[in-house]
């Protein structure tokens, strides 16, 4: 299994409506056929610690049954639509992929 963790810092000028649209765009990614599961969330209001970085706006976690399915997701047309539609709204994006 591969877990694809994506952390988004959005441009602070986005409206609430734009943030809602972004959330909907994230959820569409769950419908891509090679995605085995996933979730989306916001930074938790946990105490600040030297090892914690909770300044991100959204976290997307997707699971794939194999590296090949992860790779197919990366070139899937619906993933491309998401990137084209929303990449201008990203201030920063970080990806951490883990294989189990």
Q: Cα(30)–Cα(36) distance, rounded to whole angstroms?
A: 8
Does the pTM surpass 0.85? The reply is: yes
pLDDT per residue as tens digits for the range 41-77: 999 999 989 999 899 999 999 999 999 999 999 999 9
Taking residues 26-41, report their average pLDDT: 97
Residue 96 pLDDT level (bands cut at 50, 70, 90) = very high
Q: CA 29 → CA 5, 20, 73, distances in Å?
A: 13, 15, 9
pLDDT reported for residue 44: 94
Taking residues 70-95, report their average pLDDT: 97
At the topology level of CATH, where does 2-99 sit? Alpha-Beta Plaits (3.30.70)
């Amino acid at each position: 299994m591969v877990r694809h963790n994506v952390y988004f810092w959005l441009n602070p000028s986005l409206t609430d409506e734009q943030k809602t649209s972004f959330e909907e765009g994230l959820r569409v990614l769950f419908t891509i056929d090679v995605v085995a599961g996933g979730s989306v969330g916001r930074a938790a209001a946990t105490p600040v610690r030297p090892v914690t970085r909770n300044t991100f706006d959204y976290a997307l976690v997707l699971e794939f049954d194999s590296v090949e399915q992860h790779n197919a997701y990366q070139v899937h047309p619906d993933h491309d639509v998401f990137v084209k539609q929303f990449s201008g709204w990203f201030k920063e994006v970080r990806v951490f992929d883990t294989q189990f």
